[in-house]
Structure 1
Amino acid sequence: MLIVKGRRRRKAQRVFIGTYRFNKVIKTKVHQRYPHLTDENLSLVIDGLKEYFFLCHEGNKRMVAMPSQVVDVAWHEFILFTREYKGFCDKAFDRFLHHTPTEAMVTPTMALDGIKRAWRLSCAREGINPTNPSKLPLLFDIDSRLNIDDGFKYSLDCQRSNSNTYCASHIGCSSGCSSGCAGGMGCSGDGGGCGGGGD
């Protein structure tokens, strides 16, 4: 009986996240930071924020790193509506989803684990093979797609990646990969600036 009730609750939470209507001011604030974004682009950012919240829901209280700078800005703006954000978190997660900067994470590997978790969950949700991806999931592609200057850039082609680009296949590696992070791509954050939840 409890298992069925728990499944119903989780399904209701997913529906809540998917149908939630964010305050319009969030788009306005993101547009102030990135004035080149169109209305269509801003709607994609909001879709990205919902997608991130789906990942956090699927992460089962484990930290999920934020792979996108522009979506992170939208998340920051949402948090500023403190009562609204708390109400959203209570209904979506049964808890408050904290925004934890990389520098405040408990262990050096927490950010890396969080970005790998974001990668696996994103790939699963979009039907992408995480170890041999044919495309980047939305949250790993949106900063490049929208030309976010200070964004996190990811690439499937690690041979062509430059020093400002994170190699997606390294994120998809299990902890046993011999190559680890190569090409000066920065293992400590591996592209994710902040995370939600906690390990």
Structure 2
Amino acid sequence: MLSRTYSRRIERVRTAVDALELPPAVYRTCPFQPRELVETGLRQWLRCCGAAMLDRQVIGMPSYAVDEAWHGLILCTERYAAFCRAAYGRFLHHHPRGGALPGNAKRAGSMHEQLQRTEVAWSFAARPTEECVLWDLDARVGVPEPWGPRVQR
């Protein structure tokens, strides 16, 4: 069973993700359709990040389309910084593959390990009976070279 503190923090993340307005600029480098599906994936990813941050874990990005949308959100700097404060209590930095490991992370590990941790994070971030679109989103929106747990293994 989750501690009360952990449950409250996960709910804080969920509330902030639900309230986050995603302007059209988020999708400037993410042409994939349907946009609503990509938005669902981005919101699920941001919730996974919250669960992972609580345990100082580095997780892997399972979707190219979501990664592109996240990059678009990051470029909306004020909105992204305010969201991070509301959801996580601090800024969520982007650490692309080959980038520096965050100082407070336990370790990054292989992409396979990071994607396994994403699956664990999802188990904490998911709402009851919610379908996770992250695992096959790229195939569903037509990304030419899809990412994801099955592709990376």
Could you tell me the TM-score, scaled by structure 1's length? 0.60
Indicate which of 128, 144, 147 corresponds to 1:149: 144
Q: List alignment gaps of at least 5 residues for structure 1.
A: 129-135, 156-165, 167-189, 192-199
Aligned to 1:77: 72
Q: Is the 8 Å Cα contact of residues 68 and 139 (structure 1) preserved in structure 2?
A: yes
Deviation at 1:5, TM superposition (A): 6.8
Superposition deviation, residue 154 in structure 1: 5.2
Which structure is richer in relative contact order (CA contacts within 8 A, separation 6 or more)? Answer: 2
- The whole-number CA distance in structure 1 between the counterparts of 2:108 and 2:30 is 30
Q: Which residue in 1 is equivalent to 2:114?
A: 114
**How many Å separate the matches in 2 of 1:108 and 1:15?**
28
**What is the Cα deviation at residue 83 of structure 1?**
1.3
Change (3 A) 1:123 1:9: closer
Whole-angstrom CA distance in 1 between matches of 2:57 and 2:149: 23
1:55-78 C-alpha deviation (Å, 9 max, x unpaired): 011111321211100000000011
The residue correspondences of 1:78-97 to structure 2 (distance < 5 A) are 78-97=73-92
Instruction: Return the match for 2:40 from 47, 55, 64.
Output: 47
Task: Point out the structure with max Rg over C-alpha.
Answer: 1
Cα distance change, pair 22–152 in 1 and its aligned pair in 2 (3 A): same
CA distance in 2, matches of 1:154, 1:9: 27
Aligned-pair Cα RMSD in Å: 2.9
How far off its partner does 1:145 sit? Answer: 1.0
Aligned to 1:11: 11
Whether the 8 Å contact between 1:126 and 1:137 is mirrored in structure 2 is no
Give aligned-pair identity as a percent: 24
TM-score (norm 2): 0.76
Between the aligned partners of 1:120 and 1:10, the Cα distance in structure 2 is 14
Compare the two structures and name the one with the higher strand fraction: 1
Cα deviation for residue 9 of structure 1 reads: 5.0
- Cα deviation 1:81-134 (Å, max 9, x = unaligned): 111111111111111111111112546725333211112233563779xxxxxx
- Change in Cα spacing, 1:87 to 1:44, as seen in structure 2 (3 Å) is same
- Name the SS of the counterpart of 1:101 in structure 2: coil
